[in-house]
Structure 1
């Protein structure tokens, strides 16, 4: 019997049975428990923030550690962790990271109006956990990128429901913990949502300003961390960065040219994101693809830029799969993810210090795919299980 696309997606949006949810729970638990056994303080990156908080509680300066790259408000946010025993953090942090990643996936699904109890909901999260290597990396590291991975789809979900001020507050709270979502401020600018923009700016500014007054060096972030972020002069960290400015010099491209190419690519990405926003077709794809385009553009030029940053945008794009014309329907979306399959060896790229080339391919391929969607002709999105809305040139359902 021949099965059409509509039959496939109709099957995906039906309720998942208990066996599928059991498999998902086992995979997520195994990932968290592996980190709990192997990592202290909940992972290497979380340990950096916890050490900074412990240093502050002991009267020291958290910015004495050059790898502490967060706003002063993050020091206060990490203080409760600094008071917990290491044995508790080993279990608590990977479980919290996993839960936040699941929350981000759930928010992305609701943004695209996909039922949370559907097979697609379970299989999508299972695919991310078992088939996308940066998911496991983020859980093992305990990196606070997870706050952005949960906050961006939640903010876009709020915006899709007309609650733009609340969306701005969510983005502002996430930026106060880690400034990764700062590029999303452009989305509020595109939309002319000034209250949301004010909330997204004032919340981290006030939180960091107040927290800085409690630190031995209130200007430490500006005088030490910001120069490090701008120049990226850490030889060890540079080996794991995926942005063109970090990867191209390793291939013999002059550093100045690599930086210029990164800036040009990022600028082109922002223009494409703006064009995607200006094409105001109905449905949630507009919000998801504009937000993802802005973030991917920033990752092309930011220093540092790691593989787990992709988890900020990938769930948003993947959740749009049930929509005709979505980025997740493009072949290059899936080609871009191939280097991130766990356990798949690549000639000359087997070592951890060379995986940045694979990460750079994924980043650039995703950025180009989303950018092309931004300048392509409009398509009418179709929510899973629904018929397409009337339009002059409606897209075929599924």
Structure 2
């Protein structure tokens, strides 16, 4: 089995890196970030874009800009981009290997090559590499956070989470997980890193004030282009305000129910709690924030690995249906129904996040996680 899967995994990785990512796409996240890093290095106002266009914009705060500024040391984007893509691919593979070990599977077995092959087939990994964004690094940060919490290195876990929050504030809700365990130390790093980095970066970032005056108001708006969040769906289809509010409240309640239900095993089945809890919280952010994009679904990978636990919600087919809708690489556009196909491409992830959250909530609230003997695993 292992010998059969490794060639497939390697071929898929090489195809994504050498063909798809090398060719790129109309959507280009890297040029935006590299250009901003170059402006930072060259002491030119960083936030000087026209934010009324639908092109990818530079949205990182000054602290994240300082963190990413080494990219600006590359004077040639043609050199910087392949390095950045390779870094993200390496981080994705490292995260999958770490998850394999966390769940007690040997790296020499079939689990790792199967995970790599499936991951590199997904829309999330493929477009992360093709669009050349930082999601692969953030996946590794998420897995590191889970592993450090499990090994009781709370301060280090908080620092790693703080770095993730600095780059993508969508990770901020993860502080709930250690707090429900009555562990406050991770909160120190999670708050201190973004605050201190922005305090340091503010006087160093040309035009830093524009972040508050231009970027933050833009971030508060809900755009209707390539936005798979519930708000994006509501704006695109003209959903009545009351219907949006009702759906938002119901889905937010499902997120809360799933996390609080998992909290019953936060001490006895910690890895299950952290893996599935992080997936539910991040799916909730994707679904309920002003912007959700399908490739954010890579953050569900730790939850998917919990299928190895007999009490995991991922032992239910609805949870996998939700994950499949989020991660599927399929394009539904067709000359026979171009508009409807475009709708499916954008809003199937919306349905996927919602189904995943509701499935996890239903599973844990049914008490199934309490009906199996404790099989707690040591986080390594």
TM-score where L is the length of structure 2: 0.86
Residue of structure 2 equivalent to 1:304: 291
Question: Does the CA contact (< 8 Å) of 2:332 and 2:345 recur in 1?
Answer: no
CA RMSD of aligned residues (A): 2.7
Q: Residues 258 and 183 of structure 1: is their aligned pair in 2 closer, same or farther, counting only changes over 3 Å?
A: same
- Give the structure 2 partner of residue 3 of structure 1: none
Task: Specify the alignment match of 1:274 in structure 2.
Answer: 260
Distance 2:263 2:131 in 1: 34
The alpha-carbon distance between structure 1 residues 179 and 185, as it changes in their structure 2 partners (threshold 3 A), is same
2:275 — aligned with what?
288
CA contact (8 A) 1:145 1:180 kept: no
Cα pair distance change 1:262/1:63, threshold 3 Å: farther
Q: 1:147 to 1:99 in 2, by over 3 A?
A: same
Change in 2 beyond 3 A, CA 1:148/1:376: farther
Residue equivalent to 1:100: 91
Q: Distance in 1 between matches of 2:46 and 2:364?
A: 41
Instruction: Write the distance in 2 (CA, Å) between the matches of 1:88 and 1:70.
Output: 22
Asked whether 1:69 is paired with 2:52, we answer no
Aligned to 1:253: 239
Cα separation, partners in 2 of 1:264 and 1:208, compared to 1, 3 Å: farther
**Structure 1: distance between partners of 2:371 and 2:35:** 47
The 3 A distance-change label for structure 1 pair 267 and 220 is farther
Partner residue of 1:142 out of 107, 127, 132: 132
User: What does residue 47 of structure 1 align with?
Assistant: 31
Aligned length: 364
Partners of 2:375 and 2:5 lie apart in 1 by 36
TM-score, L = length of structure 1:
0.83
Query: Cα–Cα, structure 1 residues 57 and 118, in superposed 2: closer, same or farther, change >3 Å?
Result: same
Counterpart contact for 1:35–1:94, Cα < 8 Å: no
Q: 2-side partners of 1:57 and 1:125: how far apart?
A: 36
Which blocks of at least 5 consecutive residues in structure 2 are unaligned? 52-56
Is residue 158 from structure 1 mapped to residue 142 from structure 2 by the alignment? Answer: no
